[in-house]
Amino acid sequence: MCSFDPATNRFREYKAGGEGVVEIDAIAEDAAGMLWIGCRNGGVQRFDPVTGKFTIFRHSAAAGSLGNDVVTSILADRSGTIWAGTLDGLNRLDAATGKFTVYLERDGLPSSIINGVVEDANGDLWITTSYGLSHFRRRSGTFYNYYRSDGVLDDLTGAWKGSSGQIFFGSYSGLTALSPDAVDEKLFMPRVVLTNFQISDKPVPIGADSPLKQSITVTRALTLSHSQNTLSLEFAALSYADPDRTRYRYRLERLESEWHEVASTQHFARYSRLAPGEYTFQVEARTNRGNWTEKGAEVRIVILPPLWATSPFRVSYILAVGLIVWLIWHLRVRQMAKQLNLGFEERLGERTRIARELHDTLLQSFHGLMFRFQAARNMLPRRTEEAMEALDNALDRTEQAIAEGRDAIHDLRGSTVVTNELAQAVTALGNEMSHELASQGSAHGSAKFHVAVEGPPRDLHPILRDEIYAIAREAVRNAFRHAQAHDIEAQITYNGSSFQLRIRDDGKGIDPAIVAEGRAGHYGVPGMRERARRIGGKLDVWTGTGAGTEIELNIPGSIAYGTSLGRTVLGRFRKKKANG
């Protein structure tokens, strides 16, 4: 590029890569005296004649860049806005931000290849493209297009405005002159309608048993089953004005956010295997005379989910699974109760047998020995008073032993008592341990012991109660003898879902290794766990050095109380006791 200086009568040359450009296709001057240069492969360049510096605008992947570096035309309009025609649309430069807004064929131009841009007296633009002439109305932002059918050559190149206001358009076929004020344009946006509806590529009839109750043209909503999820919709613009140049765009809201723009030959849309849900199909049309219809045709489409995907079915399924799990659990608990029931029956029978054997053998033998001792005593002379006194004492001790044996046999036959006295038994146990240690001079006998009962007491099976008492006895004895505790508490809890026994102390705690494995030669904690498992319960031990110890026994209510286990076992126990 060269500039001429009249003062020196010389030219100054500007070359590419340094301070200038080459292959210039268009030049325009704005009101500030800046030159705007459109280059064939160099984008838009602004030249400041005062400083001789160039500012270059090129195409890039960044938003707001020039549409294409091949600039065919450039215009600085009366408002100072710079317009550049490129091979990829009409570009408008925002001087404040240095960003371009690009107008393409999808925005209403007859073609995105721009050859020339000129401004008329009203401030509107006339744009020549590779496929027709376009009038861009600045106020409304709309394009009105002209083609060969309107008397305009379709191979237009550049554009130039004369002093009279006429605009001239060059082409390979000739020159076209236009007086903008003499042109009467009427924008027409045709109505677009739906013309056909298909499911799985088959036409859908209209009827009561069909999802299409009336013509698709007037239908506003469709409800389809989950198997009717492949559908096609056809549409048309109600205009006979150059229908070949009518264009359509459509989208299915929820599935698509962008419009699909198609030519007049593709006036249908097809969607396959749509997921259940609610969609809205929208379609708009545009003729060669205007923009897209402000409101096109639309139809709401609801695809129902299959039965197994509905909320009621899912709720029912969850409830059914929950019921099955509950039944399995219930049957398992009943099976465990039955097994414990059989075990308790066997143990009760064995204890009864042992009691009967002791009564029929050992106690009867003691009675026979007593009679013999009594006879021997009667045979002694009167003067042997010391021997008689000794025999009398032996007889008294033997009688006492027989009484104790009877009591033991009674306990074997009937366990403790049928009524619930577990809390009293544990209380008596604690008092006994306290008195025993106090009588031995142990400081641990001064530990405070109390029993708390939560919930109304309920009957426990005698054998079950004996096992619970045995666990409590071992825990209370350990607390008194080994824990060096100041406060010991036993808590018995009766509730509908379980029976709980807790023994707590504030003593020195138990070594975790002893809790896990037990102490050699001792079976305290392991023995308690074994008893708990035998009666269908669970024993947990919490302890720490200097933090005391808590032992908790949990037994399911269905095993502990008068359910299938309690009623059956307790009833049989009472019946056997009543029968002797």
CA angle 538, 508, 501 (to 5 degrees): 25
CATH number of the structural domain spanning residue 479: 3.30.565.10
Q: What's the token pair of residue 270?
A: 């097809």
Shared domain check, 155 and 93: yes
* Per-residue pLDDT at 565 exceeds 70: no
Per the model's pLDDT, the better-predicted residue between 299 and 516 turns out to be 299
CA angle 493, 499, 505 (to 5 degrees): 55
Residue at token pair 């046999």 = 409
* % residues pLDDT > 90 (the chain): 35
Per-residue pLDDT at 287: 75
Number of domains in the chain: 3
With a CB cutoff of 8 Å and minimum separation 6, the contacts of 92 are: 81, 82, 83, 100, 101, 102, 103
* % residues pLDDT > 70 (the chain): 76
- Across the range 242-260, mean pLDDT stands at 87
Mapped onto helix, strand or coil, the DSSP state of residue 234 is strand
Q: Looking at the domain assignment, is residue 340 inside a domain?
A: no
Question: Using one digit for the tens of pLDDT, what is the confidence trace for 387-440?
Answer: 666 667 666 667 666 665 655 555 554 444 434 578 888 998 888 888 877 776
The closest of 140, 134, 84 to 110, measured between CA atoms, is 134
Q: Looking at the domain assignment, is residue 251 inside a domain?
A: yes
Shared domain check, 133 and 251: no
Q: Looking at the domain assignment, is residue 322 inside a domain?
A: no
The closest of 416, 414, 403 to 359, measured between CA atoms, is 403
Q: How far apart are CA 429 and CA 424, in angstroms?
A: 8
Confidence of residue 295 (pLDDT cuts 50, 70, 90): confident
Strands (E), 358-447: none
Shared domain check, 208 and 174: no
Listed residues 275, 307, 339: the one ending a domain: 307
CB 234 within 8 A of CB 247: no
Q: Looking at the domain assignment, is residue 369 inside a domain?
A: no
Q: How far apart are CA 59 and CA 61, in angstroms?
A: 7
Q: Looking at the domain assignment, is residue 196 inside a domain?
A: yes
CA-CA distances (angstroms) from residue 176 to 86, 121, 145, 172, 355?
Answer: 22, 18, 15, 11, 131
Instruction: Give residue 566's domain range.
Output: 415-580
Question: Using one digit for the tens of pLDDT, what is the confidence trace for 96-108?
Answer: 899 999 999 888 8
Q: How far apart are CA 178 and CA 155, in angstroms?
A: 16
CATH number of the structural domain spanning residue 230: 2.60.40.10
Shared domain check, 530 and 487: yes
Residue 46: Cβ-neighbour burial (10 angstroms; 0-12, 13-18, 19+) = middle
* Per-residue pLDDT at 454 exceeds 90: yes
Strand partners of residue 285: 248
Shared domain check, 12 and 43: yes
Listed residues 279, 307, 335: the one ending a domain: 307
* Per-residue pLDDT at 576 exceeds 60: no
Listed residues 284, 307, 330: the one ending a domain: 307
Phi and psi angles of residue 526, each rounded to the nearest 5 degrees, phi first: -60, -35
CATH number of the structural domain spanning residue 147: 2.130.10.10
* Per-residue pLDDT at 2 exceeds 60: no
Shared domain check, 292 and 244: yes
Shared domain check, 229 and 153: no
Per the model's pLDDT, the better-predicted residue between 459 and 291 turns out to be 459
CA-CA distances (angstroms) from residue 551 to 500, 502, 510, 540?
Answer: 10, 6, 11, 6
Residue 402: Cβ-neighbour burial (10 angstroms; 0-12, 13-18, 19+) = middle
CB 27 within 8 A of CB 33: no
Q: How far apart are CA 558 and CA 337, in angstroms?
A: 8
CB 415 within 8 A of CB 479: no
- Point out the least confidently predicted range of 79-83, 153-157, 252-256, 289-293: 289-293
Shared domain check, 242 and 125: no
Mean pLDDT of the chain: 81
Shared domain check, 213 and 178: no
Q: What's the token pair of residue 370?
A: 């007593």
Q: What's the token pair of residue 280?
A: 């809205």
Confidence (pTM): 0.46
Count of beta carbons in the 10 Å neighbourhood of residue 91: 26
CB 290 within 8 A of CB 262: no
Mapped onto helix, strand or coil, the DSSP state of residue 225 is coil
- Point out the least confidently predicted range of 111-125, 334-348, 530-544: 334-348
The closest of 446, 551, 432, 540 to 490, measured between CA atoms, is 551
Per-residue pLDDT at 419: 43
SS (H, E, C) 70-118: CEEEEEECCCCCEEEEECCEEEEEECCCCEEEEECHHHCCCCCCEEEEE
SS (H, E, C) 332-369: HHHHHHHHHHHHHHHHHHHHHHHHHHHHHHHHHHHHHH
Question: Using one digit for the tens of pLDDT, what is the confidence trace for 475-521?
Answer: 988 888 888 888 999 999 998 889 999 999 998 888 777 776 666 54
Per-residue pLDDT at 363: 57
Per the model's pLDDT, the better-predicted residue between 155 and 344 turns out to be 155
Shared domain check, 563 and 440: yes
Q: Looking at the domain assignment, is residue 139 inside a domain?
A: yes
- Across the range 521-542, mean pLDDT stands at 81
Length of the chain: 580
Q: Looking at the domain assignment, is residue 408 inside a domain?
A: no
Shared domain check, 441 and 553: yes
Q: Looking at the domain assignment, is residue 403 inside a domain?
A: no
Q: How far apart are CA 168 and CA 148, in angstroms?
A: 16
Residue 562: Cβ-neighbour burial (10 angstroms; 0-12, 13-18, 19+) = middle
CB 478 within 8 A of CB 523: no
530 conformational bin, left if phi > 0, alpha if psi -120 to 50, beta if neither: alpha
Count of beta carbons in the 10 Å neighbourhood of residue 324: 10
- Point out the least confidently predicted range of 2-16, 136-150, 165-179, 308-322: 2-16
* Per-residue pLDDT at 385 exceeds 50: yes
- Across the range 376-385, mean pLDDT stands at 64
Question: Using one digit for the tens of pLDDT, what is the confidence trace for 35-51?
Answer: 999 998 889 999 998 88
- Across the range 522-538, mean pLDDT stands at 81
CA angle 121, 122, 126 (to 5 degrees): 80
Shared domain check, 215 and 173: no
Count of beta carbons in the 10 Å neighbourhood of residue 111: 18
Per-residue pLDDT at 355: 62
Confidence of residue 333 (pLDDT cuts 50, 70, 90): confident
Per-residue pLDDT at 174: 85
Per-residue pLDDT at 381: 67
